[in-house]
Amino acid sequence: MAREFNHHPVTIIERCQVSPPPGLLPSTTLPLTFFDLPWFYCYHPVQRIFFYEFPYPTHHFLQTALPTLKHSLSLTLQHFFPFASNLIVPPHPHVPYIRYQDGDSLSFTVAESTADFTLLVSDSQQDVRDWHPLVPTLPSPLTMEDGTRVVPLMAIQVTVLPNSGFSICLSFNHLAGDGKSLHLFMKYWASVCKARGDLASIEGSLSLPSHERDRVKDPKGLKLIYLRELQHSLSEIMEFAGLVRDVYTNKVRTTLVLSREHVEKLKKWVSLKCTSYASGKLHLSTFVVTCSLVWVSMIKSEQSKGDCVAKDCDELCYYIFLADCRDFLEFSLPSTYFGNCLVSCIVAMKRSELVGEHGVVEAANAIERSVRDLKSDALRNAENMMSYYRELCKAGKSVLATAGSPKLVVYETDFGWGKPKKSEVVHIDSSGSVSLSDCRDKEGGIEVGVALDRIRINNFFKILQEQLDNVVVSG
């Protein structure tokens, strides 16, 4: 059985289910917190891919590596059981929740691809569809007789590229957890796999997840507010869940690598520019200056000319980033808390400010101020967050979001075959996002994943390089 996609056929070798070891876990339900509920509006699943070198034929992988991957995944799921669970969405007025029952499992696919491994792990431009055959599809939700929806939360696909390497790709529903939860899971699975399932040899060195959802404080009563907003649109949301829209025509993806030297020069340049016309001292983190550079370059790449059209100059452009707040004083959750613990920050600026002479500096000022506000009050305007998102989803809005974070250290995910040759967020090609991660080969560097149409992506990189050249000359 093969799927033809962009001239790279993928042969499905096996479809199966992987569950925690039987009889070890009792049936369990987990309530959704106010951190989880806004993710009902996230129609597309989160998709993260890891590529590893494996210079052996397929049959060798199937005989040696695959059994260890499966066994270690099963052992891992006994602690990370929400990924093998289902989201239960009963009819109103009942409240959605996550349920695990003994025997629940996740979809696990094994495939073989003839794609070029060297191209896939490179930072060069490639058709976004080159990765799609490597991405698993979440099973469709089931509808019970009483109207209750039963929604699987994760699917995994392992794809062998003979004599070169293999990929591990995960698709999961964001309601199950955030990036920190995912990568805690991945590092645990990788460690168990590397130890070939010998838990005794690594006991004490692995962090176990905390499922204590009753520890999540809700001082503003946000869960009730969000549930009231959801009750009128939940059926419609569930109808769209999992549907894939064809938005990939003529899109390419690539990875921009900013070295530590690039970042430090950018910080220094922005800081010097700020003192010349802005008041106050900014805390210019790597995150702030990188997002500012990318946002301005993205907005400028939309312009057909250097200056914005007069009628568009006052248009507001939005930048959205998410912040993990487990260690914020108002929550004081353990770093291993499993679930969502993200707050949204929305930065709005006029297009004319972003494309102007001091665009990067203005953007850095605005993003840094948003970070500072977040630290002083993580739930500022949170009661209006869902209505904000509905407004921003309207057609014609200029919205750029950030997925991932360098703090997730994705390149420390070693299953026993070395660190990944590449790890990336796949769904940026359909979500209007750029991705950020730590850098595989440059300590202190940062990788930025971008997916745009072919003409615009060249314009984007030309503008971004001009900005960096300006930094070097000015520095």
Give one DSSP letter per residue of 350-368, joined into a string.
EHHHHSSTTHHHHHHHHHH
User: Most distant CA pair in the chain: distance in Å?
Assistant: 68
| Sheet containing strand 106-113, strands side by side | 2-3, 10-18, 106-113, 154-161, 165-172, 46-53, 422-425
d(CA 119, CA 147): 46
Which residues are CB-neighbours of 232 under 8 A, at least 6 positions away? Answer: none
> Could you check whether the bond before residue 21 is cis, i.e. omega within 30 degrees of 0?
no
The whole-angstrom separation of Cα 207 and Cα 132 is 32
Picking from 87, 74, 72, the residue whose alpha carbon sits closest to that of residue 25 is: 74
- Residues 25, 32: Cα–Cα separation, whole Å: 20
What amino acid positions are annotated as catalytic residues? 174, 414
Q: Which two tokens stand for residue 132?
A: 């799609």
What's the CA gap between 460 and 472, in Å, rounded? 19
| DSSP per-residue codes, 399-446 | EEEEE--GGG-GGG--SSS-S-SEEEETTHHHHTEEEEEE-SSSTT-E
Mind giving me the DSSP string for 290-312?
HHHHHHHHHHHHH-SSSSPPGGG
DSSP letters for 51-100: EEE--S-HHHIIIIIHHHHHHHHHHHHTTSGGGGSEEEEPSTTSPPEEEE
Distance CA 174, CA 180 (A): 11
pTM of the model: 0.93
CA distance 323 to 103: 35
Q: Environment class of residue 350 by beta-carbon count within 10 Å: exposed (0-12), middle (13-18) or buried (19+)? A: middle
Could you tell me the two tokens for 370? Answer: 């948003």
Question: Mind listing the pLDDT tens digit for each residue in 20-55?
Answer: 999 889 999 999 999 999 999 887 899 999 999 999
CA distance 209 to 217: 18
Closest by CA position to 149, among listed 160, 139, 157: 139
Q: Which residues, 6 or more positions from 27, have their beta carbon under 8 angstroms from its beta carbon?
A: 99, 100, 101, 102
Q: What single-letter DSSP state applies at residue 136?
A: P
| Other C-beta atoms lying within 10 Å of the C-beta of residue 468 | 17
DSSP string, 214-251: GG---TT-HHHHHHHHHTTTHHHHHHHTTPPP---TTE
Six token digits for residue 118: 């060297």
Tokens 């039963």 belong to residue: 150
- 8 A C-beta contact, residue 448 and residue 255: yes
Residue 171 CA to residue 285 CA, distance in Å, equals: 31
Residue 55 has what pLDDT?
97
Question: What does the block give as tokens for 229?
Answer: 């907003």
Q: How many residues does the chain have?
A: 475
Low-confidence ranges of the chain (pLDDT < 70): 1-8, 234-249, 275-281, 303-311, 472-475
Q: Find all residues with CB under 8 Å of 213, minimum gap 6, and list them.
A: 30, 31, 33, 339
Measured from the Cβ of residue 94, the count of other Cβ atoms closer than 10 Å reads 11
Distances from the Cα of 64 to the Cα of 193, 416, 469, angstroms: 12, 12, 49
Residue type, 83: F
Radius of gyration of the chain (CA): 22
Residue ranges in 124-233 assigned as alpha helix (H):
179-194, 199-202, 222-230
